[in-house]
Amino acid sequence: MNTTEYKEYRLLSLEFRRVSSNMLMCDADTATVQLKRFKNYIDSSPVISSIIQDRIRGVEFDYKQCYLIEGSGWNYIEPPVDEASHLKAQYDYMSYLCSENKDVKGVAHSFIHGKGSWDNIVRDFLDSAFKSLVDFVVDALAKKMMLLEGDKVMGNIYQNIGNNYGNVNAAGRDVTYTGNISNNDVSEIKALIEKLLPAIQESELSVDEKESLTDDLETIQEQVESPNPKLPRLRKAMENIKSYMASASKGVAGTTALLTDWQKLVEKVGELIGN
pLDDT score of 71 more than 80: no
Contact 144, 9 (CB under 8 A): yes
Among 6-10, 161-165, 248-252, where is mean pLDDT lowest? Answer: 161-165
**Quick check: helix, strand or coil at residue 115?**
coil
pLDDT score of 208 more than 70: yes
b/e map 177-190, b = 16+ CB within 10 Å: bebebeeebeeebe
pLDDT of amino acid 150? 65
User: How many C-beta atoms surround the C-beta of residue 51 within 10 A?
Assistant: 20
pLDDT of amino acid 21? 86
Q: What is the percentage of the chain residues whose pLDDT exceeds 70?
A: 81
Q: For residue range 160-183, list pLDDT tens digits in order.
A: 333 343 444 444 444 454 444 567
Q: What is the percentage of the chain residues whose pLDDT exceeds 90?
A: 38
pLDDT score of 185 more than 80: no
- pTM for the predicted model, two decimal places: 0.62
pLDDT score of 218 more than 90: no
Q: Which of 92-96, 213-217, 242-246 holds the top average pLDDT? A: 92-96
pLDDT of amino acid 248? 55
Q: Which of the 8 DSSP states describes residue 116?
A: -
User: Is the four-CA dihedral 169, 179, 87, 27 of positive or negative sign?
Assistant: negative
